Each structure stands twice: as structure tokens, then as C-alpha cells.
Structure 1
Amino acid sequence: MTLPKHQPHRLAWPLMAAALVVSWSSGFVGIRYASESADVMLVLFWRTLMSGLILLPFALMIGPRIGARALMRQMAFGVAMMFLYLGGFALAIGQRVPTGLVALISDLVPLAIAALSQPILGHRLTSRQWTGTALGALGVLIVSLNSLSFGTAPGWAYMVTIASMMVFALATVLQKRMGTIDMPIHQGLCIQCLTAAMLFAACAGWNGGLMPPLDGRFGFGIAWLVLFSTFFCYGVYYVSLRLHSAAQVSSVIYLSPPVTMLWAWLLFGEPLSAAMFLGLAVTLFGVWLTSPRGTVSKGETSLGPIGQPADLS
């Protein structure tokens, strides 16, 4: 007798998406606190180092043995998804690329993932999903419009922001293509964090040293970044990628700019604007359009790498 396949509860994806967007936007809070008394490269070094060290005993004792090939793959993704992605934007801001422009480019990750999903994963987006993706990008633009300026940074610094966004998008779809997200999340995240920490150590050392400031705000910021913006956020992101298509998962990232502004309003008293609510409404509608409607068209898939159900073992 064939047992019926287990179907996830209809609220599973909305709850997971909400957790992802809240935790994705939470990095603003930790960076805001920690960078008040330290260079951003030093903040990123301690964020990734502490995250990796906390996970290390669990990665060694719980889960399958990590082979050399799997180790090298995860190290490569650590370079791409942590060092180049986070460090690239930090470098751009350090070169005086306006923060609003950096945030706008970083939040276009879903558009890049949607564009890469078809040639690399064979995931064909429907016209409805492409419309939703475009509306998500429009909502981000509306939210960011008031803070946008081009600044006077060197030309290469602007290219760094675009390259960082594209690296993260490419790494995401390649993980789906290669099946590397099937490694237990705590093991993969540990390797990625420690790999990025070694590279951020070189950058922070070049900028002045690795000693953290003895400051309560720095400590709170690092704790926030480790527990919420790394463990929780990356954990939810990788679990979501196992269960859903890369384009669908990434689409909720469009909601991070307005949610970030809500964080700023709640914790730092920064004002809200009508543009934020308009952008939020447009983005919510776009994200709704990208969500599965219960049927999968020919050539389209929402589960697992290369159209196969994700292996959660």
C-alpha cells in the first residue's frame, strides 16, 4: 500500500516567510549598535567568529562525518554568501556609496535569483510570478526613493555593490543545483562562518586590530547578530530553500526594507513615511503573486533541487 505524501500545513510557508523577513531585516539593529564603537569589518569578524565557534562542537559531534569535498564546498559558499556578500557592502559604504543605494541594490537579490533560476535550475517562472517579482522590486524602490542619491564614491565601489548582490544570488541557486543545502544546517553554517571569520580577520587587522571594544553596545550588537541575524536567519533561509524554490524563498526579502524601517521606528524612534506604507503594500502584493497557488505548471517546480523533493534527513 502506498502511503499518501505528507503535505505541509497551509500556514507553514506564511509563518516561515514572516520569520525570514523579520530576521533578515534584523541585521540592521545589530550593526547599528555594534558599529557605533567599532569598524564594520571588526563587527563582521566577531559576528562570524562567535557564530562559528558556538556551532563548532555541535558540528563535530552531531551529524554525518564531513568529507574533504563537502568541506571545500561549504568553505567556498562561506566566501561567497558571507565574506563577499557582507564584506562587499561594508566596503562600498566605507567608500561613501550612499547607504540608501547600497540597501536598494542588496534588496534586489530576489530579482537576480529569479533570473538565474531558469538557466541554472530549470525552474520556469510563470508570468504571474514574474509580475510579482517586478512588483516586489517596485515596492523596494518606492520605500528607498527618499534616501536615494548617487554620491561621489569611485566607480568601482558602485560595481562592488552590484557584484556582491549577484554573488549571493548565484551562490543561492548553485547550492540548490549542487544539493549542498542537504548537509545539516548547523554543520554547513559553522564551516561558512569560520571561513568568513578568517577573511574578515585579515580585513579587520589591516584596519587596526582584532580586539573588540569593551563596550556594552558592541556586546549587545554582536549577541544580536549571532543569535538572531545569523543562527535564526540563515537557519530559516536554508530550511526554506530545502522546501521551496529559490525564487519563491528570495521573494520575501523584498519586504526587508519596510520591516527594517519598522525596526528603526520601534528601537530608535526614526520617523515613518507614507512612501514606506505604499511600498509595503505594493511589495506584499508582489510577494503574494510569487507564492504557489496550489498547482504547478509544466516545467515549474517548488520543491527541492532540480525538481526533486528535498531530502531532510
Structure 2
Amino acid sequence: MILILKHQATDDQIDHVLRRVEAMGLKHHLSRGTHRTIVGIIGDEEQLREEPLKAIPGVAQVVPVLPPYKLASLDAHPEPSVIEISGVKVGGGHLGMIAGPCSVEDRDRMFRIAERVVASGANLFRGGAFKPRTSPYAFQGLGEDGLKLLREVGDKFGVPVVTEVTDPRLVELVAQYADMLQVGARNMQNFALLTEVGKSHRPVLLKRGMSATVTDLLMCAEYILSQGNANVVLCERGVKSFDPATRNLFDVAAVPLVHGLSHLPIIVDPSHATGRPDLIPACAMAGLAAGADGVHIEVHDCPEEAKSDGPQALLPDQYDELAAQMKSLAGLLGKTISPLAAK
């Protein structure tokens, strides 16, 4: 921790700062510059964060040296983490390709879509059984019946399934059926939910909140990691912007930024980031080129009949074409699309 003192800090104030640091059982290093005086503090930063250091007279700024997300940082784990979801690897050069409809719908449709996306190269199938919707009158999902159907699809095609959990009370139920638990953007800072999915030890897909910073995202991952669950995959799905041309602003820079701060894998979701099928292919490729560890794309065989988010879904043929392009790009980048485990 570094304390930057005010330009007009007196000698008595500086001495008081040093005494306060010593009283906490910590060491200090005083550096007097031409324009600034700096106090470097050596010791447990967790203890320092509990102290109101900026309230000490003469202190202008408190600057942490280490990030607050201890377990998610590269300091804790210098090598990229590889997360395994029922045999499918994500991270460390292995790409996770998630595809499927926004919501779990009727059985025949789910089987048709799963068959197409798996044939195209998807190695994780997605679909929401519990849907947090802006309107209370919108389709809220099929609940446990949807989970059962999703599990049936996963078993039929030998593909791991990922679905959203919206409530701490539902974690145990969803974990019975899903290979991976998704925490959606609206729930990114639902700390009770993060704690429960951390206790479940199921792999977790954590989506960035629509108004969240990268630090916010990593701190939420820290909640999950702190419960002993190291299997976290981050997801950049766009943040709110003033421009209505796209659903959200696709922050592709977040991908290399996260890799420079954390060992956790991060995938991109151009479906929610743009909300426009015509922009999804370019943004998916841009995400991979920026270093993403996978791509999350919504696919539906008849978007006009979709229960939710139909306008932003790709058709199976469109996904097939994009999947081929992503596979070629992965080869150029020296990465592999993790294969499905043999049945």
C-alpha cells in the first residue's frame, strides 16, 4: 500500500501517519520528493483495507499495490487456468464454443437445434430454464421441466449443457441437471448467489454486468473462488452505451485486459453484446482475435417463434458458416476447439 500525502502536509502530520502505521504492526518507508511525500507500507493489505487510512490528517490518496481480487489475480496463479466442463476444456489454448437458443422450448425444437450446432462444432449447449426478464409478463422459462429437457438433450448428443441459475435457492436444483452454471449479467453482483454457486463446485460461467467494470467482474469471480470453487469462466457480453444502434457496447478490449490481470479464461458473447445477427460473425471473430477463450452464440431454427431473444439469434446455417470460420481462425492462432468427450 502507498500513501500519497498532501502537498501541504506538516512534519507533525507526517509523524502522525508513521505512528499510525507502526501502531498497526506494519513497516513503513518514507520518501520525500520535491512536490510529494510518499509513505510505502509493508504488511498485510487485507488489514490495511479495514483501516480508514484516507481519514488520517495529511493523507491525500491511498493506492493499493496488489489487486483486491487475490485468488483471481495472476499473482495467485501465474499460468492461465484451464477449466474442464464434463471433458470439454476452456482456457490455456482450448476454446469453448457455446451455442443454443436463449430459452429451453419444446422438445423437438431443442433436439433439432442441438443436432445442428453440435454438428457444426459447438462443444457446449445452452438454454435457459429460468429466465430473468425485464417484464414480469414475459416468458419466464419452463423451470425444472426445462432442466430435465436440457439434460435429455445433453445426454442424447453427448454435449455438456450450461444454463442460468437466478436464485440462491435454486442452485442445488440446477446443479442436478447442468454441467455448468451460468450467472447472468443482471445477477453478477448478487453476492448471495455467487456464494452458493461457489459452494456447488460446478463450473460457473460468470457474465459481466451491463454497467460493471472489469474490476467489478473480477471481484465477483473472487466471491466464487473464495468458496473453494476454482472453475470459473468469465464472459464479456457488452456494457450499456448511449448508442441505440446495438443492444450493448461490445468491449472487446476487456478480453486482453482480463488476461493481463487474471488467470481465469474469458469468452465473448456477441449475441447479447450486439443484439444483431448481421454483426455477430464479425464480433465473434474479433473476440477470438483479441484472445478470447471461446464464443457464446444464440442459435434458433425459427427466430420469429422464439420464446425470447429471437431477433438476435443466428439460424443454424448461419452458425454453421461462422463455426467453420472460427475453426480456421483458431488454427491460425494456435488454439484448438476442445472436442466432445467420447460417448
TM-score interval, normalised by the smaller of the two chains: under 0.3
**Higher relative helix content:** 1
What TM-score, normalized by structure 2, do the two folds share? 0.24
What TM-score, normalized by structure 1, do the two folds share? 0.25
Name which one, 1 or 2, has greater alpha-carbon Rg. Answer: 2
